[in-house]
Amino acid sequence: MQKSIMSIDEATGRYLPFLYPEEMSYWNGLKENKVVLQRCNACGKAWFPIGPACMHCFSFDFKWDAMSGKGVLHNYVVYHKAWMPWMESRVPYAVIQVELDEGPRLTTNILDCPLAEVKIGMRMKAAYEQVNEKITLLQFRPDKG
């Protein structure tokens, strides 16, 4: 049987991501409160999710580059069911997709915003939730300027 690669925070029961070695530039960036993504040296575009080749031109030549951390709310969905016990106190909650000003779209959570105020097109800025010494999660909150 294949073992799960998920880890669980024992204090909260929250599922945490597995940190793959090839993704450590992203995770280390978040620890420094920066959104660091891959940017193609051939066409100049940034991309996400993390992968070996540019999704725009398929070049393997890239660098890790700090993004602005700003963008717009591209899409969202509201969950009324807690899919794990850790989420029970949070329902209903929105899962959002933010399109960074640099182009990549990130699926994430929205902080400090009542559900009734969640709107497609609203300006967003990155927020950083330090979960433990290894993991800082990327979240977003409304950018009120």
Distance of closest approach, residue 42 Cβ to Zn ion, in angstroms: 5
* Residues paired with residue 105 on neighbouring β-strands, in sequence order: 99
124 lies in the binding site for Zn ion (CB under 5 A): no
Beta-strand pair 36-40/62-66 = antiparallel
| Segment interacting with Zn ion, rule: CB under 5 A, options 43-51, 75-83, 92-100, 120-128 | 43-51
Asked if 59 is part of the footprint of Zn ion (rule: CB under 5 A), the reply reads yes
Stretch that binds Zn ion, among 2-10, 24-32, 52-60, 74-82 (CB under 5 A): 52-60
Closer residue to Zn ion (CB): 8 or 57: 57
Q: Which of 42, 66, 84, 95 binds Zn ion (CB under 5 A)?
A: 42
14, 15, 19, 56: residue in contact with Zn ion (rule CB under 5 A)? 56
Does residue 41 touch Zn ion according to CB under 5 A? no
Q: Residue 57: what are its φ and ψ, rounded to 5°?
A: -130, 0
Contact of 67 with 35, CB cutoff 8 Å: yes
State the residues that interact with Zn ion by CB under 5 A.
Answer: 40, 42-43, 54, 56-57, 59
